[in-house]
Chain A
Amino acid sequence: MQASTLLFIVIALAVFGYFSGYGRSLKVAKPLGSIRHLHSLPSYYGIQTAIWCALPALALLAIWQLFADTLIHSYLMAGLGELITDQADYNLTLNRIINVASGALPATGQSDYVVAAAAQLNSIAAIQKWALTILVLTLCSAGGLWSWRRIAADFRARAAVENVLQKFLLACASLAILTTLGIVMSVLFESIQFFQTVPVSEFVFGTSWSPQTAIRVDQIGSSGSFGAVPLFTGTLLISAIAMVVAVPVGLMSAIYLAEYASPKFRRSAKPLLEILAGVPTVVYGFFAALTVAPLIRDLGASFGLNVAAESALAAGSVMGIMIIPFISSLADDVITAVPQSMRDGSLAMGATKSETIRNVVIPAALPGIVGGILLAASRAIGETMIVVMAAGMAANLTANPLEAVTTVTVQIVTLLTGDQEFDSAKTLAAFALGLMLFIVTLGLNFLALRIVKKYREQYD
């Protein structure tokens, strides 16, 4: 039976289990008078039965699906013995066997041992399918029956259900964490592989970035240089420009919205401002590349400045506009959270409104504002699309915002687009860059959260 069919049967049995558990609890309650005498509500007994019906069976199904193929394959290959030794050969042969078994590859012309193994695979597959069906259905009905029989007036079904529910929620939470962990691990291992060909010191301190490597051994070409400093400085430059644009504008608009604007204006203006964060970054990208960059170049030319067609300034300022809502929205929240009694205290001293904001409200809200700024900064550092389109690809080591620079994220994109070899230093460099980026943004986020948390304890 197919796994999906099996899944439906298990679910149907669980539903049946719910109603039979529900019914049995009512039957148990009848001689006692009413359901008041049961420990839990009838629905808890139903759910309890359903859980025991479905959960073990589903768990078995999942584990089987995950590991059965691998086990069968290694069993098959072990049967072939010394015929296969090389790793690459191993995978190739295995694929051939699987294809022959499924009929995708004609059996004629294949080696005898492949044909034999394919036949063996087919027979094992048939057996395992039946075994799975029988096992799952047995487990399903056994679990359901067992828990159905346990139903009694003093059986604490409610506690048991709560317990299972809690574990289920825990599993969901760990899934998110495990995914993050998985991403970190994959990036980490690829990076380690990269650092075996390029020393860490060269990567972190080298000032020349030119990731082109020879693909064939006999090819004449550069051997590549992986000094990431120009990328870091480029990222820093663009992020700094973005922050220079976003912090004052975001902060001022937050102060206006929180302190001066009428509630009605605030209600409509705040969501409008937040739309900025919802515009796809690729739209910002072509806005930067096609509108802002030429504008800056022409403006620079009229002052006699030589501005590159794709400049850090263009990308940075558009990125700044993009992250305004991150700052204004968070700052607005923390400014509104400053207790009215603080403002009253200051106003009652004879301070004007702006003095009150400057001397009392902003200092009180500062940790929260800093938290917001750091979150925006980590967003700016990780931003890709705008810089790909508007900042250029040239890895220049410069602090001049009018020149083209490139960032870590842009390089990752260029390294991994198109057909790539997955074991060359060039491709692996992308993972090392990703790791760096991850460390920096993680650090910034961590810092931001710490600051915001500290701020929360301030008035109590």
Chain B
Amino acid sequence: MAINNDRPIPTQSVGAQFHDNARMSMRDVNIFYGDKQAIFDVSLDIGQNEVMAMIGPSGCGKSTFLRSLNRMNDTIEGCRVVGDIAMDGQDLYDSKLDVVELRARVGMVFQKPNPFPKSIYDNVAYGPKIHGLAESRVDLDEIVESSLRKASLWNEVKDRLHQPGTGLSGGQQQRLCIARAIAVNPEVILMDEPCSALDPIATAKIEELIEELSENFTIAIVTHSMQQAARVSHRTAYFHLGRLIEVNPTEQVFTMPEHELTEGYITGRFG
């Protein structure tokens, strides 16, 4: 269905954008690709151990916004971020900040499972190795095992740790990527439509996993599935044409949306 452009797009977001115990806080963020602006004046807090879902129609800029949280946009030529993005009060776009260290603290899981063409073990051990997290082989084995356990993949792969990660099924590959991300013990995990390439059973497993992970990690997840947002998240942010329209506790967004655009999207009038 086409987006109804007759309705005015507000410059102000509605709802509870701010959080008392904020892990990451974004203020007046604008993102540009060359001359084209993708994100307009977004202000948002993501709380400690919170699962924040970002929903919205395709091309609304939610993935762009997510990628700016660990500066993955740096790899895209011509991408420019204006505004404040801070984590625990530290500006992420400070020129003195070490982007390598930032990405170790803010992990990311991508849309399509992207295991390295290495063994399952080496996939998980990759991060700990480059950050020197393991003193010995025993340490490394331990990290690999606990990460795979946290990603609820251990029982499926413990007998074939040294076979290629690319040989796993799609859902297993995605859990391997999650294990890989949590192996460096990040504080925040960004997930960019982590289930869009998976079947319903694998999706259910990942959703279950997200719930478990939220005990230890702060999670921001971009998703196309509103049911998924409703199931896994604590708060939901609705994006529309590069603007943040509404942020509210998930239950409220899906039962009593404050903004008519949000309502239109969740009731399926467009999207």
Contacts and interface: CB of A to CB of B under 8 A. Distances in A.
24 contacts: A339-B114, A341-B112, A342-B117, A343-B75, A344-B114, A345-B110, A345-B177, A346-B126, A347-B75, A349-B103, A349-B104, A349-B107, A349-B126, A349-B130, A349-B180, A349-B181, A349-B184, A350-B104, A350-B127, A350-B131, A360-B116, A458-B166, A459-B117, A459-B166
A89 to B, nearest CB: 70
Interface in A350-367: 350-352, 355, 359-360, 363-364
Contact of B103 (A350, A363, A458): A350
Nearest to A460: B166
Given A350-B103, A350-B130, A345 B112 contact: no
B20 interface: no
Contacts of B117: 342, 363-364, 458-459
Contacts of B72: 344, 347-348
A344 B66 CA distance: 14
Contacts of A348: 70, 72, 103, 107-108, 110, 181
Contacts of B100: 350-352
B126 A359 contact: yes
B118 interface: yes
Contact of A344 (B101, B110, B118): B110
Most buried by B among A349, A352, A360: A349
Interface residues of A, number: 20
Interface in B124-143: 126-127, 130-131
Contacts of A352: 100
Interface in B81-135: 100-104, 107-108, 110, 112, 114-118, 126-127, 130-131
A450 B102 CA distance: 42
Interface residues of B, number: 26
Given A347-B72, A351-B100, A355-B130, A342 B114 contact: yes
B102 to A, nearest CB: 8
Interface of A: 339, 341-352, 355, 359-360, 363-364, 458-459
A458 to B, nearest CB: 6
Say what secondary structure dominates the interface of chain A: helix
Among A346, A347, A348: residue with most chain B CB under 10 A? A348
A348 B109 CA distance: 8
B84 to A, nearest CB: 22
A339 B114 CA distance: 9
Contacts of A342: 114, 116-117
Nearest to A355: B130
Nearest to A263: B77
A345 B126 CA distance: 11
A347 B110 CA distance: 12
Contacts of B166: 458-459
B130 A359 contact: yes
Contacts of B110: 341, 344-345, 348
Given A348-B110, A350-B101, A351-B100, 10 more contacts: A339-B114, A342-B114, A344-B108, A344-B110, A347-B103, A349-B107, A349-B127, A350-B100, A352-B100, A363-B118
A359 B108 CA distance: 18
Contacts of A459: 117, 166
B45 to A, nearest CB: 22
Contacts of B107: 348-349
A213 B33 CA distance: 77
Top 9 A-B residue pairs of the complex, sorted by shortest distance between their CB atoms: A350-B104, A348-B108, A350-B103, A341-B114, A349-B127, A345-B114, A364-B117, A350-B100, A351-B130
A366 B116 CA distance: 13
Contacts of A346: 116, 126
Contacts of A350: 100-104, 127, 130-131, 184
Interface in B162-184: 166, 177, 180-181, 184
B184 A344 contact: no
Given A350-B127, A350-B130, A350-B184, A345 B116 contact: yes
Nearest to B123: A345
A339 to B, nearest CB: 7
Interface string B55-82: 0000000000000001010010000000
Contacts of B177: 345
A342 B70 CA distance: 17
Interface string B173-214: 000010011001000000000000000000000000000000
A94 to B, nearest CB: 67
A25 B107 CA distance: 71
B86 to A, nearest CB: 19
A359 B129 CA distance: 11
Contacts of B126: 346, 349, 351, 359
Given A349-B103, A349-B104, A364 B112 contact: no
Nearest to B74: A347
A349 B103 CA distance: 6
A150 to B, nearest CB: 56
A358 to B, nearest CB: 10
A140 to B, nearest CB: 61
Contacts of B131: 350
A166 B181 CA distance: 54
Interface in B41-57: none
B130 to A, nearest CB: 5
A105 B40 CA distance: 98
Nearest to A358: B130
A359 B127 CA distance: 11
Contacts of A349: 103-104, 107, 126-127, 130, 180-181, 184
Nearest to B118: A363
B152 to A, nearest CB: 20
